[in-house]
Amino acid sequence: MGWTGKVLRVDLTKGKCASEDLNKEWADQYMGQRGLASKYLSEEMDPKADPLSPDNKMIFATGPLTGTCASTGGRYSVITKGPLTGAIACSNSGGYWGAELKFAGWDMIILEGKSKKPVYLCITDDKAELLDASEIWGKSVWDTDAWIKTRHQDPQMHVSGIGIAGENGVLFSCIINDLHRAAGRSGVGAVMGSKNLKAIAVRGTGGVKVDDFPAFLAATSAAKEVLAENAVTGEGLPTFGTQVLMNVINEAGALPTRNTRDVQFDGAHDISAEAMAEPSGKNGKPNLLANQACFGCTIACGRISKVNEEHYTVQNKPEYWHASGGLEYEAAWALGAATGVNDLDALTYANFICNEQGIDPISFGATVGAAMEMYEDGTLTDKDTGGLKLKFGSAEALTTAVELTGKAEGFGAELGLGSKRLCDKYGKPELSMTVKGQEFPAYDPRGIQGMGLTYATSNRGACHLRSYTVSSEILGIPEKTDPLVTDGKADLVKAFQDATAAVDSSGLCVFTTFAWTLEDIAPQIDGALPGEWSVDKLLEVGERVWNLERQFNLQAGFTAKDDNLPKRLLKDAAKTGPAKGLVSGLKKMLPEYYAARGWTKEGVPTNETLNRLAL
């Protein structure tokens, strides 16, 4: 009934798979996916454990709406302790894999220990086994996907796994399912690699049931209408994808450029949604070929693109001439604006390699941006980079770097450490645009003040998907706030964080919230699950999840000092655009935020707060 009620526990050390009942009491308190898996992780492991040791656990978790007809109901998350940050990691992905796990009859998979040799987990309905992966260790995500489907003679299998980046311990390596959908951030791929687990292949032929079908169908149908009629989800995202933001954010003066030295990029248009739709190359076809939906999604923001066959990156490489996952906004920003590269085909190629080898393009691009700044100021020499000319704007440097990073070869091995460790190593920690070790994404906190607080307080390190106040501050959803002021942002960030934590625990995609409020979401969950699921209950679950993650991080050793931003954002004012002259007002917002959260001045949840949330 929404939940399948079954958890697959895989002991990689012993090579054993076992079925157990879902903890229904926790499920009622944490709903599913991000929340519920965070509860399991918190209960089962020591937050101080080394993320790349067998003591770390890893959970692949669906939500109660995963595998249903609710629009976007196909999400799953990977929850573990992240090696990039040392904080709790929760990376969320779409595609078809999550729904397939549900059809096979499982709410979640808990992976523990470490396999002695490379294995992959193969799940066919209630049968689960660990199989030898020696033939695919060293292969790309794409080759692994094809190999597994051929080996099992089942093209209907869905595969989630790592490329060579995860095997090589690249600290921002991700987990890719369905060829180009990513559980992208915090280095969850490296955790999988450290466990000698190459992939999880799933085939499910069972059905998913909900608690009250008539109520559920009425609620999901009404909610689909809301998505279809909304300008962002009904038109902007299907037509332009998330890339609809490139020119918008650039004009708002909030596009971090060349390692965040600037807030506007002169090449923004060249790498925008509009450029992706323009005819290019000899055949006159645009970069963008089609939009693709994830499972059950009636928005369909995914980009399917092609690299121009004449472009230097793919000349004489027909294996890259086909269509595949194209540029999303965050990737286009990181590979483009953060590095100053405005070559759309080079960005698309770099994005292909990120998908093929399992690399998070946000952290990768941002790390290259930091390396470019160190190269230009003379900190890094040709000797350090192995001759790689890391100049801002160099497409060749970017595309060579992405190939080297996956392989962990030459300077690629250093880039694979992420910008914090790289900048620390070369004595320039101030040049790392990170929070809690994770590179921040495509919004400059000087031009969108709420995002500064968002990054500083995100439980998984800098991230836009923990409280997307851009919605309010730039797009006016659900109501417009001034992006240049700090007033009211503490409450705004808290509200977005709690609501997002609830959405991330449901099986739905957070992009629905451009159109949906919790008023649209609650009836869908209420129809799917037993018991009462009101807006108030969702907010309570969201706040509980947020505080649980916070506690994990406090126990892991984080303190209020880690709720911070790079000095550049606090000291160097924006040079152009609407935010000209402004720095981030984090220092003013942070105490307000702690108060709004019911935390002490040291950022620790008070006993009263913990009791209120039954923590």
Q: Tell me which residues touch other proteins (CB under 8 A).
A: 67-69, 71, 96, 99, 103, 156, 179, 204-209, 213, 217, 224, 228, 238, 289-298, 300, 304, 306, 322-324
Which residues, in sequence order, are bridge partners of residue 257?
262
Rounded least distance, CB 230 to other proteins, Å: 13
Tokens 């995500």: give the residue: 141
Return the number of the residue (295 or 558) whose C-beta is nearest other proteins. Answer: 295
Return the number of the residue (196 or 348) whose C-beta is nearest other proteins. Answer: 348
Rounded least distance, CB 502 to other proteins, Å: 22
Return the number of the residue (103 or 496) whose C-beta is nearest other proteins. Answer: 103
The answer to whether residues 237 and 262 touch, using CB atoms and an 8 Å cutoff, is no
Which residues, in sequence order, are bridge partners of residue 262?
257
The answer to whether residues 130 and 117 touch, using CB atoms and an 8 Å cutoff, is no
Return the number of the residue (209 or 587) whose C-beta is nearest other proteins. Answer: 209
Name residue 505's amino acid. S
Rounded least distance, CB 165 to other proteins, Å: 21
Return the number of the residue (86 or 234) whose C-beta is nearest other proteins. Answer: 234
Cα–Cα distance, 74 to 295 (Å, whole number): 5
Return the number of the residue (68 or 247) whose C-beta is nearest other proteins. Answer: 68
Cα–Cα distance, 613 to 615 (Å, whole number): 5
Return the number of the residue (286 or 429) whose C-beta is nearest other proteins. Answer: 286
Cα–Cα distance, 286 to 291 (Å, whole number): 13
Rounded least distance, CB 241 to other proteins, Å: 12
Instruction: Read off the tokens for 615.
Output: 């923590």
Rounded least distance, CB 355 to other proteins, Å: 12
User: Residue by residue, what is the 3-state secondary structure of 506-565?
Assistant: CCCCHHHHHCCCHHHHHHHHHHHCCCCCCHHHHHHHHHHHHHHHHHHHHHHCCCHHHCCC
CA-CA distances (angstroms) from residue 517 to 64, 219, 520, 562? 18, 13, 5, 31
Rounded least distance, CB 203 to other proteins, Å: 9
156-169: b or e for each residue (b if 16 or more CB lie within 10 Å)? ebbbbbbbbbbbbb
Which residues, in sequence order, are bridge partners of residue 81?
88
Return the number of the residue (178 or 444) whose C-beta is nearest other proteins. Answer: 178
Return the number of the residue (243 or 292) whose C-beta is nearest other proteins. Answer: 292
Return the number of the residue (181 or 568) whose C-beta is nearest other proteins. Answer: 181
Strands 127-132 and 119-124: antiparallel
Rounded least distance, CB 218 to other proteins, Å: 13
Rounded least distance, CB 140 to other proteins, Å: 15
Rounded least distance, CB 143 to other proteins, Å: 14
Return the number of the residue (241 or 253) whose C-beta is nearest other proteins. Answer: 241
Which residues, in sequence order, are bridge partners of residue 132?
119
Rounded least distance, CB 77 to other proteins, Å: 20
Return the number of the residue (106 or 411) whose C-beta is nearest other proteins. Answer: 106
329-364: b or e for each residue (b if 16 or more CB lie within 10 Å)? bbbbbbbbbbbbbbbbbbbbbbbbbbbbbbbbbbbb
Rounded least distance, CB 432 to other proteins, Å: 37
Which residues, in sequence order, are bridge partners of residue 481?
none
Rounded least distance, CB 123 to other proteins, Å: 14
Return the number of the residue (96 or 593) whose C-beta is nearest other proteins. Answer: 96
Q: What DSSP letter does each residue of 250-297 carry, written as one string?
A: HHTT---BTTTTBS--TTTGGGSHHHHHSB-STT--BSEEEEE--TT-
Helix (H/G/I), strand (E/B), else coil: 566: coil
Rounded least distance, CB 525 to other proteins, Å: 15
What φ, ψ does residue 565 adopt, rounded to 5°?
-125, 160
Cα–Cα distance, 547 to 400 (Å, whole number): 42
Exposure of 194 by Cβ count < 10 A (0-12 exposed, 13-18 middle, 19+ buried)?
A: buried
The answer to whether residues 484 and 579 touch, using CB atoms and an 8 Å cutoff, is yes
Cα–Cα distance, 58 to 110 (Å, whole number): 6
Return the number of the residue (230 or 260) whose C-beta is nearest other proteins. Answer: 230
**Which residues have CB under 8 Å from 281's CB, separation 6+?**
308, 309, 310, 311
Rounded least distance, CB 290 to other proteins, Å: 4
